[in-house]
Structures are given as C-alpha cells and as structure tokens.
A and B are shown apart, each in its own frame.
Chain A
Amino acid sequence: MSDSALESFERIVVPLLDDAYTLARHLMRDEHDAQDVVQEAYLRAWRHYGSFHGGDARPWLLAIVRNCGYTWRRGTRVQRDSVAYVEEQHGGGDDSHRATDAAALAASDRAELRDALDQLPPEHREAIVLREIEGLSYKEIASVTGTPIGTVMSRLSRARQRLQDALRLGARAKEGDR
C-alpha cells in the first residue's frame, strides 16, 4: 500500500519540482534557501499526501511550498556555511541553460524581468508567479495564498502596475545609454 502511495506521489507530485522550485526561488530570492524550502515542502507534502483529494496537484503543492517558505523566512533558517562563491564563479547557477533558444538580448531582458519581479514585496511576487508563470486561476491563487479573491485581484493589479513602471524605466534608461 505504501508502495502505491509513493508511486502515485512520484507520478503526480514529483514532476512538479520545477514549479515548486520556481515559486520558492522567487519567494526566497536565494537558490540555496529555495532548495531547502522545496525539499522541506516535499517531505511535508508526502506526509500529508492523504489530504490531497485528486484534481490538479499544483495549487495543493504550491500552497505547501509557500507555507514552508514563509516559515523558513520567519527564522527556522539553519546556519549554513556553504561556500557560495564557488558556484557563482563557475556558473553553477540553474537558469543559464534556459536562454539557449533565445537571443542574447532576450536573455538579458528575462534577467531584467526576474530582477524587477524580485524587487516587489513578497505578496506581489507570489501573485505574479502563480498567475503569469503557473497560470493559476484567481480562485486557485486565493486558495494557495489563503486570501479572498478580491485581494488576489488587487495584488495582481498593483504588481503588474509596478512591473510595468519598472520596465518602462528600464527601457528609458537603455534609451539614455545610446
């Protein structure tokens, strides 16, 4: 019985690792913290797999990732003496290959977008990730974030406005460079 539960978890939840990592990465804004949060979230998800009643596992999993992320930020963060410079130096980053199909300019635009997103307050960041990257409905976003749909709407609207302003500023700065 335990085998089939794990098999089902591995078939349904484990393939969502990129989704979980993406949310954690934008919430934590640090790749190591994001990895720890995702691992913790997966353990929690597995322990509570009985409470998942079918349907789309993404909102269910992302809610757990989000909670783990906020708990982590509140101070369960463990001391880590990881040598971060090595990875930076050697491009051990996890997003470099993403841009292979796009032109160099597009890659820098993407990096700029991610930076702009990471400047927003966490509740705006998560709204954007859940809507624009994950494509969740307002209702699903409301259930992931534990907020009313009206709040989801106003956060999304404000977040988009801020990103629009940031991108416009960025574009203007580029114009100025020329």
Chain B
Amino acid sequence: MNCAQTRELLNAYIDGELPPDQAMALSEHLTTCAECAGIYEELLATVRTLREGLVKYRAPDLLRARVRSALREEERPATPAPIAKVRRTVRVPWRALAAAVVLMVASSGITFVAARQHVSAESLTGDEVLTSHIRSLMPAHLTDVASNDQHNVKPWFNGRLDFSPSVPRLEDAGFPLLGGRLDYVRGRPVAAVVYGRRQHVINVFSWPAGVTGDAARTLSTNHGYNMLHWRSGGVEHWVVSDLNAAELQQFGMLLER
C-alpha cells in the first residue's frame, strides 16, 4: 500500500471499517513510513478528542413531557399505522350510529330537551379548555414564555391580560413550573400556566369569572383527560392533564391554597 492509498483509508482504518487484508496492509505501511504514521497519530488523537469531548445532549424534561403527551393523544383513536384509513372508514358509520341512537331515543318517548339542557355553559367551556390543552401539546404551542421561575412567568402576563393570574411555586411538591402562554377560551384571552408532573403536562387556565359566587372544586373526565374546575375570588380555574385523578386533585388542592 502506498502513501496516497493509506491516507485515503486512514479514517476507515481508525473506525475499524476496513476488511482485514486492507487493514493489515495499511498497518504494515505505517510501520515503514514515518510521515503516514505521524498523520495517523494526529488523526487518532483528534478522533479520541471528539469521542471524549462530544457528549449527548440530555433531552429537556419539557420535551419528554410533550412527546409523551403527544403520543398518548395520538394513540387514542386507533392503532398506529392505519390511523388515517381507520378514521376515514369509521367516520361514516359513526354518524349513522349516532342517527340511529337519536331515532331510538326520540321514538322511545324521552324528550331530547332534557339532554340538551345538560349541555350547559360549563361543559362547553370544559370542551374548549380540553381542546386548548390538546392543542398546547402540538410542537411549539406549549409555552410562550418558557421558564421555571414564577418571577418570569407572572410578569409576562402583564399587559397581555386584564388580570394577573396566580403562579404559585409548587416545585417542592413535585409540580415544577414549565412556563406560561396566552390562550383563548370562549372568545376571551385567558392565562394558561403550565406545570409538569413526571412526564405529564398540566395546563392551568384562569380568567375573571363572568358570574358571581364561588364554585367548589369538581373533578370530571373528558376523553380520558382529567379536569378540575372551581371558581373562587372572582376567577374561573380549569386544570387539565392526563395525570391520574388522585394526583391532579392533590395539585388542585395546592393551587387553591
């Protein structure tokens, strides 16, 4: 093997990617050619520096939480590969099924009005809050201000909202603050403060209440998400997460304090 060939193959040699006969020929050349041996030593040192010095980045916890939540959301409708297909074929039968149920209900003499009244303003709000939560899990939607310091998050809302949301520090209880963003619920801008719990994202929505009087904290479940709602001090609070109910209740209790 000559010098030109050797230098061309040095990288593959160092990486152990040469077939044995070539590797042997190359190492023989190195024992006889001081110049090539020098180049080899230097390249080897560089590769060692790179392997020792370049380390993996650690994915931020927020990213972990986002990926996990997004996966769970994605997983909900169907099995992975045929998602699009299944959705398309399922949609029509669903409608037909719904129509059949309506017909059955109607024909069985139960008035529909009763059901209608249950679709209260509160559940409409709950649906919108849930939609906002899910949307927040899409790439680049979770936070407008990403910070684990309430002294950054709270002032960020100044001038963006006509009230100041409470941003308590709950990290010691295992609910680190992740950030905040402006969101819209029922046509008005609201504060969304984001907390984490292990790999779960918790969105806390709040805005000045349109009605007077407090409402006690209630837990509900919507599409597999747990939601808390309460009204106190003239502020509506909605908390949404895929976190389990018990821990979310604990979070709600801390928040309400």
A interface residues (Cβ-Cβ under 8 A, vs B): 1-2, 5-6, 9-10, 14, 17-22, 25, 31-32, 35-36, 38-40, 42-43, 46-51, 78, 80-83, 86-87, 90, 92, 94-95, 97-98, 109-110, 113-114, 117, 128-129, 131-133, 137-138, 153, 156-157, 160, 163-164, 167
Contacts and interface: CB of A to CB of B under 8 A. Distances in A.
Interface in B31-80: 42-43, 46-47, 49-51, 53-60, 62-64, 66-68, 70-71, 74-75, 78-80
B236 to A, nearest CB: 25
B147 A90 contact: yes
Per CB-CB distance, the 9 closest pairs between chain A and chain B, nearest first, are A50-B81, A21-B59, A36-B139, A113-B53, A164-B46, A17-B59, A2-B79, A157-B11, A132-B50
Given A6-B71, A110-B53, A95 B15 contact: no
B146 interface: yes
A131 B56 CA distance: 12
Contacts of A32: 140
Contacts, number: 156
Contacts of A109: 53
A162 to B, nearest CB: 10
Contact of A81 (B56, B57, B70, B144): B144
A169 B242 CA distance: 52
B80 A49 contact: yes
B221 interface: no
A21 B60 CA distance: 9
Contacts of B156: 83, 86
B140 A80 contact: yes
Contacts of A46: 71, 74-75, 80
Contacts of A42: 67, 70-71
Nearest to A110: B53
B154 to A, nearest CB: 12
B90 to A, nearest CB: 14
B135 to A, nearest CB: 13
B144 A9 contact: no
How many chain B residues sit at the interface, stated as a range, is 35 or more
Interface string B136-168: 000110011111110010001000000000000
B63 A160 contact: no
B105 interface: no
Interface string B170-210: 00000000000000000000000000000000000000000
A43 B71 contact: yes
B59 to A, nearest CB: 4
A17 B56 CA distance: 10
B49 A94 contact: no
19 contacts: A5-B79, A14-B71, A18-B56, A18-B58, A35-B66, A38-B67, A46-B74, A47-B81, A48-B80, A49-B81, A82-B140, A86-B145, A86-B147, A90-B152, A92-B146, A129-B54, A157-B10, A160-B50, A163-B46
A22 B60 contact: no
A137 B18 CA distance: 12
Given A2-B78, A82-B143, A129-B54, 11 more contacts: A2-B80, A17-B59, A35-B63, A38-B63, A39-B66, A40-B139, A42-B67, A46-B74, A46-B75, A90-B152, A98-B57
A78 B170 CA distance: 32
B57 A78 contact: no
A14 B75 CA distance: 14
Contacts of A35: 60, 62-63, 66, 139
Given A83-B145, A156-B11, A43 B74 contact: yes
A63 B184 CA distance: 37
B57 A47 contact: no
A20 B149 CA distance: 27
B75 A92 contact: no
B25 interface: no
